Amino acid sequence: MLWLSLLFPQFPLEVLAGDPALQSGSVAVTLAVIEGEHILVADAAARGAGVMPGMRLAAAWARQPLLTVLERRSDLEAAALQRLACWAGGFTPEVCIRDESGLLLEIEGCLRLFGGLDALLKQILDGLAAQGFTVRHAIAPTPMAASWFALIAAPISETRCLQIDQLRPAVADLPVAVLASSPDVAARIHAFGLQRLGDLMALPRAALMRRIGAAPLLALSKALGELPDLRQRFIFPDRFCETLELPARIEHAAALLYAGQRLVAALCGWLAMRASGVAACLLWLEHERGRDKAESATCIELRFAEPTRDANRITRVLRERLERLRLPSSVLIMRLEATSAEVLPGHDGQLFSGANTGAAKSGAMDTMGTLVERLQARLGEGSVMRLEQFADHRPECASRLVPWSAVDGRDNVCSTDAFAQASGFAGVAQCATNSPLRPLWLLPKPESLNEINGRPQRHGPLELMNGPERIESGWWDADEQGAIGDVRRDYFVARSTRQEWLWVFRAEAGWFLHGVFA
């Protein structure tokens, strides 16, 4: 097994700080989180002014009078860690919450899926940076060793121990402070005057256990792989419903995007773990309640052209909706719900180049889906329509417009190629065949044509190339208001003097133009 340990040293601050872009201004903002009367975590600006963790609040204000302090919120940290565990499900189903500010991921089984260790690690670290989290990370064959390596690693470096035979010398170089689970244990270990775990490993285990207790030595044995390290796995919820309490009141909807991205990231990880996607999800915005604040919550429905778990697509639709939303009052809480998750089919790999195979087709469909989602977000769902085939011989009734999301799947969509194939029209050269021809462009209403000596006219006489095709149908709705009713028509393919290929018909009232061939 191979474990990746993720430790978030600034977690209490980053959970409360919100969007860093909103903090930029003419005056530098220095932030710190306090617990009791002591500094727990300080940002880079505060540390540059001399404010350090463990310092009393009065001393911190003496060094930096403009220091902004925030009370630690353990409940928000726990909720944020749950969301990060859901997000990590996009990489591996084996996720453990190590403590109040760390995760453990078993990654050996998913290395090939992501293209190797370096590619996987880059995706994980980039995803955490996009959510605004600082992370220390380390990799080791045991979860305990990975946790210890991350604890002493610098934020910009990493520790990798990929083989079990390399584990003992790597652990031996660690300071004995990693074993200090309590001040009492730390005092007993330091009484020996030892600096590294290698010095401790050289001493007799039985005598050590009597002097410092069994717990530190059991932890050391687990780190070395001598004893099994059984960890409680994170249990992914059956239904996704995550709530994010904002660090401050948000007055403009566009400013909610940064916080919304954290919820979207958790949703996509949860969906990846279930091999599923969503065609729609709900974002609830809970507003500030007051005497003149009648609106308690705003619901934003995010719809997609097809089920997806692509964070970029979901974020893009969310951005479009937020940019056009006017808030009735400030927002305090955001909640994202996945109403229904649908299992996504897998994709076959391509032995050779996929330029002319299903890979290219899938990319084209993704592009179309992205376009439809952006249009729906900007114009409204009812403004984006598509054609659905309908069983009726009358050309006006053979298809109908429906909202894009109202059609289940793509089998019923009248695309240009599918319509041409179904109608038997693949080009003007097919006029000599006996298959019925249908144009791709029907006029909204048949246009009356003049007739001279029995021949229809449009910019001159029309040459009838194919036909007639008798269409006689519609008696069942002849008495319904707004219906076309019963029709009796003889259709022809005609060519004009301008070399236009037209679809015309003759009825009792005369000649009419009904469609134009591409």
- In this prediction, residue 200 carries a pLDDT of 82
Q: How far is CA 421 from CA 273, 390, 396, 417, 438, in A?
A: 40, 16, 19, 6, 10
Res 419: pLDDT = 40
User: Boundaries of CATH 3.30.70.270 in the chain?
Assistant: 1-229
Question: According to the model, what pLDDT value does residue 425 have?
Answer: 38
| Strand 342-343 relative to strand 331-337, pairing | unpaired
Return the pLDDT at 57: 92
Q: What is the CA radius of gyration of the chain?
A: 34
pLDDT digits (tens, 9 = 90+) for 62-91: 999 989 899 999 999 999 999 999 999 999
Considering all CA atoms of the chain, what is the largest pairwise distance in Å, rounded to the nearest integer? 119
The confidence band for 383, taking pLDDT boundaries of 50, 70 and 90, is confident
Instruction: Read off the tokens for 454.
Output: 């029995």
What is the C-alpha separation between 221 and 236, in angstroms, rounded? 30
Q: Give the pairing of strands 241-250 and 38-42.
A: unpaired
Res 295: pLDDT = 56
Whether the per-residue pLDDT at 160 is higher than 60: the answer is yes
> For residue 382, what are its two tokens?
């009812």
Angle at 129 between CA 339 and CA 344, to 5 degrees: 35
DSSP strand pairing (276-287 vs 297-308): antiparallel
- Checking if the pLDDT of 348 tops 80, the result is no
How far apart are alpha carbons 413 and 28 in whole angstroms?
Answer: 56
Mean pLDDT value of segment 243-254: 86
Above pLDDT 90, what percent of the chain? 36
In this model, does residue 457 exceed pLDDT 80? yes
Q: Is the pLDDT of residue 364 over 70?
A: no
Residue with tokens 């004893």: 227
Give 146 or 424, the one with higher predicted confidence: 146
| Confidence bin at 324 (pLDDT 50/70/90) | confident
Say whether pLDDT at 303 is over 80: yes
Contacts 24+ apart (CB under 8 A), 78-81: 79/242, 79/243, 79/244, 79/245, 80/11, 80/15, 80/262, 81/11
Backbone angles phi, psi at 43, to 5 degrees: -80, 180
Mean per-residue pLDDT over the chain, rounded: 82
For 226, residues 6+ apart whose C-beta sits below 8 A from its C-beta are none
Render pLDDT for 472-485 as a digit per residue (tens, 0 to 9): 888 888 777 777 78
Are the C-beta atoms of residues 454 and 462 closer than 8 Å to each other? Answer: no
Taking residues 119-138, report their average pLDDT: 93
What confidence score (pLDDT) does residue 346 get? 66
DSSP string, 113-142: TTTSHHHHHHHHHHHHHHTT---EEEEESS
Which helix (H) or strand (E) covers residue 144, if one does? Answer: helix 143-152
pLDDT of 188 reads 76
Number of neighbouring beta carbons within 10 Å of residue 284: 16
Amino acid residing at 53: P
Across 219-233, 344-358, 487-501, least confident range? 344-358
Could you report the per-residue pLDDT of 398-440, keeping only the tens digit for each? Answer: 877 777 765 444 444 444 444 444 333 333 334 334 556 788 7
pLDDT number for residue 454: 85
Is residue 118 over pLDDT 50? yes
pLDDT computed for residue 345 by the predictor? 76
Question: How far is the CA of 268 from the CAs of 3, 103, 127, 334, 510, in angstroms?
Answer: 22, 18, 12, 17, 60
pLDDT surpasses 90 at 94 = yes
DSSP states of 474-515: -GGGTTSTT----EEEEEEEEE-TT--EEEEEEETTEEEEEE
Q: Hey, what are 133's tokens?
A: 């989290």
Q: What letter represents residue 27's amino acid? A: V
Domain 241-349 sits in CATH 3.40.50.300: no
Beta-carbon contacts of residue 327 (< 8 Å; ≥ 6 apart): 250, 251, 252, 253, 285, 287, 298
How many beta carbons lie within 10 A of that of residue 501, not counting itself?
Answer: 20
Q: What is the pLDDT of residue 26?
A: 40
- The pLDDT score that the predictor gives to residue 323 is 87
Protein fold of 1-229:
Alpha-Beta Plaits (3.30.70)
Are 139 and 166 in contact by the 8 Å Cβ rule? The answer is no
Rounded to an integer, the average pLDDT of 309-313 is 90
Question: CATH 3.30.1490.100 spans which residues of the chain?
Answer: 241-349
pLDDT band at 340 (very low <50, low <70, confident <90, very high): confident
More confident call, 3 vs 27: 3
Element (H, E) at 34: strand 30-35
Considering only residues 108 and 294, tell me which one the structure prediction assigns the higher pLDDT: 108
Res. 271 pLDDT band, cuts 50 70 90: very high
| 38-42: strand order across its sheet | 38-42, 30-35, 67-71
